[in-house]
Amino acid sequence: MKKAWILTLIFALACAGLNAQAALEEKLEQAGLVDVETLAAPLFFDIRYATTNNFTKKKIYDSPRCYLHKDAAEALLKAVELASQEKEPFTFCLWDCYRPLSAQKKLWQAVPNASYVAPPAKGSRHNRGMAVDLTPCDFDGNPLPMPTEFDNFTKRAHMDFYNLPKDILTRRETLKKIMTRAGFTYTRTEWWHFDKTGWQNNHPVLDIDLPR
């Protein structure tokens, strides 16, 4: 009798957990965000803030899911198409996508420096689902050589740093060209970060947790 009661309790908790996850997915969808992994594109995911492999050395959020606003997701698909048409075709590995405001607060607690992290009071474009951090990858998901690793806050990560091996410089310029053509703007200090144009218009800061 006791065992049956415990099993019923476990089942009820599991159902509540699933319902909570489904509710988060629905909220994200209502906010216009899409699950990038469901898009038919050869993309790879290495969502760094869901691991300790990031500059804070802390896990900033629990879920390695990549959501973007549908406008940004559509532009990303365009970038994938353009990258596939290059003389040496490539695709992308994604490092960070939509990030809830709660994660922005954690990042700020770890590094309260506006040069590196957008203050939560202002919010990041990632909090709007309108920014993506990515790097060129081959079609097996291996990152191709770039000027620096993710979240390197030195001049070497700047878009106007030119003292680089020719192949790396060419790849960075190709990335910039493709992302700009696809509808993003680049960031001078972070070669991996791109904002979808129009992020200022009707794209509020969101604080919906990522589903697991």
The whole-angstrom separation of Cα 32 and Cα 77 is 16
Does 193 contact Zn ion by CB under 5 A?
A: yes
User: In this structure, what token pair is assigned to residue 165?
Assistant: 């091996």
CB of 121 to Zn ion, least distance (A): 18
Does 48 contact Zn ion by CB under 5 A?
A: no
The whole-angstrom separation of Cα 67 and Cα 44 is 13
| Cβ distance to Zn ion smaller for residue 69 or 193 | 193
Q: How far is CA 167 from CA 116, 145, 149, 173, in A?
A: 27, 8, 16, 10
Known catalytic membership, residue 173: no
| Cβ distance to Zn ion smaller for residue 172 or 193 | 193
Residue nearest to Zn ion (CB): 193
Question: Which DSSP string do the residues of 96-165 spell out, in sequence order?
Answer: E----HHHHHHHHHH---TTTS--TTT--GGGGT-EEEEEEE-TTSPBPP-SS-TT--SGGGSTT---S-
Q: Which of residues 96-135 bind Zn ion (CB under 5 A)?
A: 133
CB of 131 to Zn ion, least distance (A): 5
| Cβ distance to Zn ion smaller for residue 2 or 57 | 57
| 3-state SS, residue 80 | helix
Does 71 contact Zn ion by CB under 5 A?
A: no
Per annotation, catalytic residue among 25, 81, 86, 190: 190
CB of 95 to Zn ion, least distance (A): 8
CB of 23 to Zn ion, least distance (A): 27
CB 192 within 8 A of CB 152: no
Does 195 contact Zn ion by CB under 5 A?
A: no
Instruction: Look up residue 85 and give its amino acid.
Output: Q
Active site residue ranges: 190
Give the interface with Zn ion as residue ranges (CB under 5 A): 133, 193
